[in-house]
Amino acid sequence: MSMRVGFLKKHIPTLAMVGLQFIYAVVNLLGKAALSQGMSPLVYLSYRQGIATITLAPLAYVHHGRNANLGMENFWLIFLASFLGVTINQGLSFFGLRLGSASLATAMSNLVPAVTFLFAALLGLEKASLRDTRGLAKVAGTGVCVVGAGCMAFYRGPEVKLGNTYTSREDWYLGCLFLFGSICCWSMWLILQVFISRTSFQPLPWSAWICFFAFLQSSALTLAMETDKSVWRLNSSTQIICCLFTGVLGSGMSNTIQAWCILKQGALFTSMFAPLCTVITTIMSSIFLHEELHLGSLIGATIVMGGLYTVLWGKAVESRTIEQERVEEAVCNGQDLTTGIQRIKMDLNEPLLGEGLDHDIEKN
C-alpha cells in the first residue's frame, strides 16, 4: 500500500500535466464550437477572463489576505502583462481559432518554446552559439519548428479522414497569421516574466489580478469594436458551457495546477507535454467537430514536435552542464555539497532564460 502511495506521489506532476492536456484540448474544442456558432471572439475573451477572476480572487484573498493587494510598484507591470499575455494573445488566438481549426491552433502552439528562444537570443538573454552541441541543437530546433509551421500554413495536401468531415470555406492563411501573432505575444510575455520574477508578489494573487485587468481590457475593447449590444448574449448551451469551462478550468484552475507542476518539476518538464495536447485535439476535433484533417497539417505538426524536442534537449544539456559547473565550483570552495547540490537542482528545475540578469530564472 505504501509503495502504491509512493508511486502515485512521485508521478502526481506527470498525471497532472496529462490531465491538463485533456483540459486544454476540450478548451480548444469548445472554443471552436462556440465561435463557429457566431460568438464574438472578444466577447468570449471577456466572459472567460471575468469568470477566471471570480474563480481566482476568493482563493487569493483566503490564502494571502491583505498581501493579495496590488501595490503601485506592481500596477503597471501587471497591467502590461495582462494586456500582452492575455488580452492581445488570447484575442488573436480566438480569431485564429475561428478562421482555422482547433487542431491547427494546438499544433502551432508548439512553436512557443522556439519563438521564445529566438526572441531571447535577439535580446541577448539566451546563448545561441553554434560552436557547441547545446547551442546548435537550440538553433537547429528553432529552424525546424519554423519549417513545420510553414508546412502547416502553406501545404494542406490531401484530406485524411477520421470521420465524416466537411469542407471548410474559412480563411486558413489568415487564421495562421492570427495564431502566429498570438504565439509571438505569448513568447514576449514569457520573456517579460523574467523581470516579473524579480518581484516578491505571490503567483496566486498575481494571476487573479492579471485575469481582472484582462477582463477590463477585453471588455473595453469589445465595447469599442462591437456596436451591437446583442453580441453579449449567449445563444446556446454550448456557448454557456464553453465560457464556464474555459473560465473556471481553462484560465483559472489550470494556471494554478501548471504553476504547481513548474514549482515541482520545472518549466522544461511542463513544456514537454505540449505535443500530447496536439495529438488529443487533432483526433477529437476530427471526430466530434468533423474538422478537415490534411496531410500537410500532420506532417507540419510532426516536424514542429521534432523541433520542439530538439530545443528542449538543448536546454536540458545546458542545464546539466550548468549543474556540473556549479558542483565543481562548490567543491573548489569547500562548501557543503549536500546542501549545495539540493539548492542547485531546485534552481535548475526552471531552465535559465538569460545569464545576464541578477535573477534569471524563468517562471512560467
DSSP for 16-85, please give it: HHHHHHHHHHHHHHHHHHHHHTT--HHHHHHHHHHHHHHHHHHHHHHHHGGGGS--HHHHHHHHHHHIII
* Angstrom distance (rounded) from CA 32 to CA 96: 10
300 residue type, one letter:
G
CB-based contact 355:345 (threshold 8 Å): no
348: pLDDT strictly greater than 50: no
**23 falls in which pLDDT band (50, 70, 90)?**
very high
* Angstrom distance (rounded) from CA 312 to CA 304: 12
Ordered alpha helix ranges (H), 88-199: 89-99, 102-108, 112-122, 133-154, 172-196
* Angstrom distance (rounded) from CA 42 to CA 213: 14
Phi/psi at 294 (nearest 5 deg)?
Answer: -105, 155
CA angle 91, 95, 100 (to 5 degrees): 140
CB-based contact 153:173 (threshold 8 Å): yes
Output the nine-digit C-alpha cell for 49: 477572463
Candidate from 52-61, 200-209, 233-242 with smallest mean pLDDT: 200-209
**CB atoms near residue 159 (< 10 Å):** 12
* Angstrom distance (rounded) from CA 75 to CA 196: 12
**165 falls in which pLDDT band (50, 70, 90)?**
very low
CB-based contact 89:185 (threshold 8 Å): yes
5: pLDDT strictly greater than 90: no
**123 falls in which pLDDT band (50, 70, 90)?**
confident
What local confidence, expressed as pLDDT, does residue 53 receive? 93
45: pLDDT strictly greater than 80: yes
Mean pLDDT of the region 150-165? 61
Candidate from 145-149, 185-189, 225-229, 282-286 with smallest mean pLDDT: 145-149
Mean pLDDT of the region 219-228? 92
What local confidence, expressed as pLDDT, does residue 167 receive? 42
Phi/psi at 343 (nearest 5 deg)?
Answer: -65, -40
R_g of the chain, CA atoms, integer Å: 21
Candidate from 52-61, 153-162, 283-292 with smallest mean pLDDT: 153-162
102: pLDDT strictly greater than 60: yes
277 residue type, one letter:
C
What local confidence, expressed as pLDDT, does residue 194 receive? 64
Candidate from 85-89, 192-196, 207-211 with smallest mean pLDDT: 192-196
Phi/psi at 352 (nearest 5 deg)?
Answer: -70, 140
In this structure, the chain runs to a length of 364
Cβ neighbours of residue 59 under 8 Å, at least 6 residues apart? 204, 208, 256
CB-based contact 193:59 (threshold 8 Å): no
- The three-class DSSP label of residue 294 is strand
Mean pLDDT of the region 190-218? 77
* Angstrom distance (rounded) from CA 61 to CA 205: 8
**Helix and strand numbers, DSSP H then E, in the chain:** 15, 0
What local confidence, expressed as pLDDT, does residue 67 receive? 64
